[in-house]
Structure 1
Amino acid sequence: MVPGIGNYGRRVGVIGASRIGRRVLELLRPFDLSPALTDPYVDEATAAALGAPLLPLDDLLRTCDIVTIHAPETPETHHLVGRRELALMPDGAVLINTARGALVDHDALVAELRTGRLAAILDVTDPEPLPGDSPLYDLPNAFVTPHLAGSQGNELARLGQTVAEEAERLLAGGELAYAVDLAALDRTA
C-alpha cells in the first residue's frame, strides 16, 4: 500500500450549497467518499437531504482531505479562506476553487503552498487572469486552469440549447428549470 494515493474513504468538504455545490454533492454519491457541507443558509435537514452533515467552516476545514468552494462572492465571503483557515487544513489536503477568486486570499495561499503542506486546484483567481509573474504558475502543488471550459467549442451549442428550452418553457407557461430567485440573488453562486 502506498500512503496518500487514492480517494477511498476521503472526506470531501463542500463550501456552499449553491446550484453547483449541490450538483457536486450529487456527483460524489456513487463513490466511497464522505462528504460534508458548510453553508450559513442551509439547515441540518437540508444538508442531510443533500447527503452531507452540516458543519461549521472551521470544522469542515479541519476534517476534510479535499475542500471544494462553491459559494458566492459577497462582502462576507471575501477572503473566506485565508491564512487562518488554510492553517486548519490537514497536511496533504487539497483546496479546489471553481467559484470566485476573491473567496481565497491568494497571498496566504501562496505562502501555504510554498510549504508543500497543501495543494490547490484553481479554476478562478484574483485577479483574473493572473499576472504572468504569479508564483501560482510555478508552484508544483498549484494547478491553475481557465474558468471558461463551459463556454468553449461545442459547449456553446449546449448553452444555446438550454436558453432555447428555457424560453420554450416560459412561453408555454411551464415551470422554469433555471429560475432566478431574486430574494436570494445577492447570495447565489
Structure 2
Amino acid sequence: MTDQERFDGLLSECDSCLRRIGLSPRAYLPSVRLTHNRSRIGSCKKLRGGRRPLFQISCSVDACATDAQVRDVLFHELIHTLPGCFDHGNRFREAAAKANAAYGTEVRATRREPARRVPEVPRWRVVPLVGTELLVRGRRYRFVGMNDRPKRCCNLTDERGRSYVCAPAYVLAHLERRGMG
C-alpha cells in the first residue's frame, strides 16, 4: 500500500467517524495532498467558496509517523470544513472536543512545535561587527546591519548579493567560533 492510498483511506475513515457523531464535513477532494513540510503538518484550503464550498486537505508525510498522528491531523482538517469552523474559534474547539471525547484523539487548535528559544543579544554587541564576513557551511556571507522586524534581526548578504535574515545570536555564535566575537 502506498502512502497516498494509506492517507486517502484514513481520510475516508475520519470522515465516517465524524458523521457518526453528528458532524458532517462539507465537500472536499477525495485524495489527500501529501507534503514533506515539517512546520505545517496539515492544512485545509478552500478551493471554491459560496453555497457549495470545496476544500483540499493536505498532510505532511514526514511529520506524521503513525496512523494515530495522521488521524489527528485529518480530523483537525476535516473539522475546518464544517460551517463556522474554518478558523480555530469556539465552533472549531467544540467540534474538536466532541471528536476527542468520542474517539480518544488529540485534535487541538494548533499542533505546531514551539520555536527554539534564541537568546536575546544586546544591539551594542552586534552593531560593531557590521561588515564582518561569516563562513557558514562553506558559503560566505557579509553582515550588513540590523533591522527591527518582527524582532531585532541581522541582515546578511551572500556573494551574489541575495539578502538573508537571522538572529543576532546566530551571527555571534559563528564569529565566536572564529575567535572574533
TM-score by length of 2: 0.28
Q: Which structure has the larger Rg over C-alpha atoms? A: 2
Could you say which structure has the greater relative contact order, defined with CA pairs below 8 angstroms and 6 or more residues apart?
Answer: 1
Q: Of Structure 1 and Structure 2, which has the larger fraction of its residues in strand? A: 2
